[in-house]
Structure 1
Amino acid sequence: MLWRPLVLAAAAIAPSVDAAATLRFSCSQLVVDRLDPLVNPGMNPSPHLHQVVGGNAFNTTMDPAVHDLPTTATCTSCTPVEDFSNYWTATLFFRARNGTFKRVNTFGNELGFTSAKGGQTVYYLSSGKVTAFKPGFRMTVGDPTFRTAAQLNAKYKYMDFTCLASSMTRGGQTLNFPTSTCAAGIMVSIRFPTCWDGKNTDSPDHQSHVAYPNGNACPSTHPVVVPQVFYETYWDTRPFNDKNIWPTDGSQPFVWSFGDNTGYGIHGDYVFGWKGDALQRAMDNNCNSDLFANQINCPTLQVQSLDQANQCTIKPEVNENLDGWLTELPGGMPIM
């Protein structure tokens, strides 16, 4: 059932007959912490909670002039051992009928990565020749202030929720939180733009240096085709499927850690940290991955086991209670 991201990748990347890569792998949970080194560099704690995967050089500032991830990190929670990038999203919470909150855990993608300790599945996709990201590259996608489908549709593509009836469910995506119980959890998909200006590894808003294609071609302002970075995060909403603890009006009970109970504020952050030319080699060699096994078909890359990836964790820098039932979201974030 890997066809869905492949179809969407073809729509999001300028096409070519040269090659196609579908690099798919697991990244176990590195840390859950209230830090955001892109949007709030140096702020400890940052306003809302994130779940982070990747290299253990993740820190409060992520200043590329000081922290070169491939040389600073000593392990990665991703299975390609040369990938010390960091990937993160907001954290999901359940709000009970009595107004208290419980953090929702992530769990390993059941299509091949069941033994992963949380985290997310990461893809690097291409439908032709692409240029790998440069050292220091970072970007975000989405806007945490959005609260309507019109806002999300107008600016971003391919970010959605799937209510999983089973691990094989694909289709029926929504731009907002699912409004009914999901037997196998909720999958959140976040896809980044695929056109780069070819000059800047970052921009003040962390988004202007990248763009979506216009039809089948990158715009002249952003002429360089880069791999599509794509996250799938499985949220274990199964413990909350008892409608007796949902709001009395039957409305959906989930809320992002930044106070969004609609889902339209979905967003993700990415900091490139592959060692040397490893990602470019993988893209040039049309690397792909088996769907039902932790196996990357890519002789040019070294891969560690899921058990090894699970061992790469760091301690949260912010000392706060994230478990049990909470009277408010971490940081006191209001729901709005």
Structure 2
Amino acid sequence: MQWGALLSLATLAPSAHALLRFPCSQLVTQRFDPFDVAMDPSLDLPKLSTCTTCKFKEDASNYWTAALYYKNPNGSYIRVPQMANQFTGSPNGGMTVYYIQPSNNQKVTSFPKGFRMIVGNPMLRNNTFRDQNSNEAKAITWRCFGANFGSDPSYPHPGTGPLDTIELPKKACAGGIRSNIFFPSCWHQEKPHLPIS
């Protein structure tokens, strides 16, 4: 009986996809961008790093996220507090990092020295995407959670389904709002600091 169960699992294995998910705590909240475009891309900053706020100490990458602010009717701003993702332990705000295996048999390699990547267009001030379902439009989406992190089990993947929108939700979200940021799965391997064209 155990062999039958193992054989059943073995037949499913080729269709399985690897996923790594871990939390990174918030370190500081500052009014400046720690990313410097003039940084020397020949430096291997993760190798030079001596600490991390992530659960896995082997990950010394520098993850940066923008802070979200609410504008009051009187014109003042309040920073929206970050909360930990569900079932990730007890990180202090921060973020959850997902590494998901590509489904099209792409070769997976480690990041090269000097690797940098950014998502989205910082100059975009309104939703001007020609195709609302394009990769560009879906690069940054927002998940509106119901009470107790309620979501729609029909759409478990971020960026899909009626709960994820390319604009901030227009209604109150009892369980909070999650930003989904999707990085491309490829880059210029010869010049890792250049944008994808």
Q: TM-score range by the shorter chain?
A: 0.7 to 0.9
1:138 to 116, 139, 149: 116
Indicate if the aligned counterparts of 1:158 and 1:190 stay in contact, CA closer than 8 A: yes
1:194 aligns with 2:180: no
1:181 aligns with 2:169: no
Task: Kindly indicate whether structure 1 or structure 2 has the higher relative contact order, using CA contacts under 8 Å at least 6 residues apart.
Answer: 1
Aligned partner of 2:165: which letter? Answer: T
- After TM superposition, list the pairs within 5 Å mapping 1:77-226 onto structure 2: 77-113=53-89, 115-126=90-101, 127=103, 128=105, 129-146=107-124, 147-150=126-129, 153=132, 156=136, 157-165=138-146, 166-170=148-152, 171=161, 172-203=163-194, 207-208=195-196
TM-aligned CA distance change 1:38 to 1:202, over 3 Å = same
Match of 1:29 in 2: 26
Secondary structure class of the residue paired with 2:21: strand
Indicate if the aligned counterparts of 2:23 and 2:97 stay in contact, CA closer than 8 A: yes
Secondary structure class of the residue paired with 1:193: coil
Indicate if the aligned counterparts of 1:111 and 1:168 stay in contact, CA closer than 8 A: no
Indicate if the aligned counterparts of 1:111 and 1:167 stay in contact, CA closer than 8 A: no
Deviation (angstroms), 1:158: 4.1
1:20 aligns with 2:21: no
Deviation (angstroms), 1:183: 0.5
Indicate if the aligned counterparts of 1:163 and 1:173 stay in contact, CA closer than 8 A: yes
Indicate if the aligned counterparts of 1:93 and 1:103 stay in contact, CA closer than 8 A: yes
Indicate if the aligned counterparts of 1:149 and 1:175 stay in contact, CA closer than 8 A: no
Aligned partner of 2:114: which letter? Answer: G
TM value normalised by structure 1: 0.45
Indicate if the aligned counterparts of 2:140 and 2:180 stay in contact, CA closer than 8 A: yes
Deviation (angstroms), 1:149: 4.6
Q: Which has more strand, going by share of residues?
A: 1
Indicate if the aligned counterparts of 2:150 and 2:175 stay in contact, CA closer than 8 A: no
Indicate if the aligned counterparts of 2:142 and 2:167 stay in contact, CA closer than 8 A: yes
Aligned partner of 2:149: which letter? Answer: S
* Matches of 2:75 and 2:58, distance apart in 1: 44
* Matches of 1:112 and 1:130, distance apart in 2: 25
* Matches of 2:182 and 2:18, distance apart in 1: 16
TM value normalised by structure 2: 0.74
Aligned partner of 2:116: which letter? Answer: R
Indicate if the aligned counterparts of 1:25 and 1:123 stay in contact, CA closer than 8 A: yes
* Matches of 2:47 and 2:188, distance apart in 1: 26
* Matches of 2:141 and 2:131, distance apart in 1: 10
Q: In angstroms, what is the RMSD of aligned CA positions?
A: 2.3
TM-aligned CA distance change 1:18 to 1:197, over 3 Å = farther
Deviation (angstroms), 1:152: 7.6
1:237-270 CA deviation, whole Å, 9 max, x = no partner? xxxxxxxxxxxxxxxxxxxxxxxxxxxxxxxxxx
Secondary structure class of the residue paired with 2:27: strand
Percent of aligned pairs with the same amino acid: 40
* Matches of 1:111 and 1:104, distance apart in 2: 21
* Matches of 1:26 and 1:152, distance apart in 2: 32
